Structure 1
């Protein structure tokens, strides 16, 4: 099954759009090879509102959020996961509004254990477990713990309109990087299965435009991950032994040089999953071999 990414997203930085019933979207001006045009920030409800993923520390983006909520009260700042493009902006937004923060918990992999890219300073005021509910005056969100891209990753289902805030677990513009040890491919595939089993009408990702009628995309994404894993195993069998980085070329083909390292991290996560399944083993140094 094919997988077609959505890369047409005309929303201007600093502007705001009604992206789903009861949901407004802004895009932070932090574009990169990993963030597309920037981090999506969502405003949920009217009057007393929640802000989902305030983004990085960025004064212009903070000002845009405050303009978009002028005359309203921000009561909740919700963080889907603690990567530095999603959660560091929470502190300034809380200082400006007095809101409380909500999230699964602090970043689960310390820097010395490979937790690069994590916002290790974020601690939610309210820990939200799998199945936990966060609600305001005219909105209600139920959390789904979806580890894989990040161990403390949460998606949030909005009552009444078929919207799932999928954050970086399912994005419309690209696949998610799964970088061990905080990222885990086996967890990712299990979490993807949970989302596939749902009947959401719209997925609102952490980067890129909304995914409407998401079922075909989710099926394609699942097939894409399985196909890539099969290619990893085939390439390793062809090579005999290889590192994850050495497999990037055979698995991906011609590739953006900026993405070789994160691609290698995702391939490493595939190898760890295959090791758990008894299909590959670690060899000397950083090499892997098929079984």
Structure 2
């Protein structure tokens, strides 16, 4: 088995640089990717997902900005590892914020913000006309996306399997050269990665169907039937995440004819 790719952020294209936040974990992989985008020579920049409320990370982003004015900030979805530090970032770098579908011209770039619900109801991706696709948590650089269900910080997460499949289909229809994800390394073969994620989601649905057919009804039982034993430590976090996705899959299957 090949060694896992080490991801430390840094420049990826002549328009995109990743500032990797120091919040690595089972849900954030190597950490949150904050993306600084700008056309070569521009005195402005666009920032995608300023990350958690962390002074050191804001300083690292400011160092990459290198004095350029922030013309636009995009939050790919509501989770605090992506936008928990948004207000503090804006206090230092005042700029308009895009969190819904629309087109923008900033920092010498043309950006399309695309509604891609599934991970959460408010998830968006950003496509540059130069072929970079920024996916937040809709497609990760490694592993599979959690379908976030339930309530977090008083807000319904709205994760939905059907929405996620439709969002993957939308992204597969685009002309994309490289994926810049919200966590994990850059994806150099976008079509293959998006196809794998879609096939993985469908395979998980089939596993849940088989678990139901075997008589499992409780979410915890189905998590064990599908994922095996995930108990304690990091595995406890993974089990919690797996349970969220299982609930979303059960909701999806219950709506099917």
TM-score between both structures, scaled by the size of structure 1: 0.79
Distance 2:121 2:71 in 1: 26
> Equivalent residue for 1:8?
5
Q: CA deviation at 1:225?
A: 0.9
The aligned residue for residue 165 of structure 2 is 189
The 5 Å alignment of 1:11-160 reads 11=8, 17-45=10-38, 46-104=42-100, 129=101, 132-159=102-129
1:179 Cα offset (Å): 2.3
Residue pair 1:168, 1:206 contacting (<8 A) in 2 also:
yes
- Residue 249 of structure 1 pairs with residue 224 of structure 2: yes
Shift of 1:164: 0.5
Runs of 4+ that moved beyond 6 A: none
Give the alignment's TM-score, normalised by structure 2: 0.89
1:5 Cα deviation from its structure 2 partner: 11
1:173 aligns with 2:173: no
Count of paired positions = 243
Q: CA deviation at 1:215?
A: 1.2
Deviations 1:219-259 (A, max 9, x none): 111111111100100011112x4112210111112443331
Q: Secondary structure at the match of 1:134?
A: strand
Q: Note closer, same or farther for the CA distance 1:169–1:67 as it changes in structure 2 (3 Å cut).
A: same
Cα distance in 2 between the residues matched to 1:206 and 1:18: 15
- Aligned to 1:187, the other structure's residue is in SS state helix
Equivalent position to 2:183, from 202, 207, 220: 207
Once the two structures are TM-superposed, the CA of residue 157 in structure 1 deviates from its matched residue by: 0.4
Closer, same or farther: CA 225–23 of 1 in aligned 2, 3 Å: same
Pick the structure with more helix per residue: 2
Query: 2:206 maps to which residue?
Result: 230
| Structure 1 contact 5–174 (Cα < 8 Å) conserved | no
Q: Which runs of 5+ in 1 are unaligned?
A: 105-128, 279-291
**What is the correspondence of 1:262-277 to structure 2 with a 5 Å cutoff?**
262-277=241-256
Contact 2:7 2:184 in 1 (8 A): no
Task: Identify which range, 252-261 or 43-52, moves more after superposition.
Answer: 252-261
- Aligned counterparts of 1:233 and 1:210: Cα–Cα separation in 2: 33
Q: Secondary structure at the match of 1:51?
A: strand
Does structure 1 conserve the Cα–Cα contact (< 8 Å) formed by 2:37 and 2:47?
yes
Name the CA shift for 1:215/1:158 in 2 (closer, same or farther; >3 Å): same
On the 8 A contact 1:25/1:43 being kept in 2, the answer is yes
Cα displacement string for residues 246-277 of structure 1 (whole angstroms, at most 9, x for unaligned residues): 10111112443331121011011011000000
CA distance in 1, matches of 2:3, 2:193: 10
Q: CA deviation at 1:7?
A: 4.1
Distance 1:190 1:98 in 2: 34
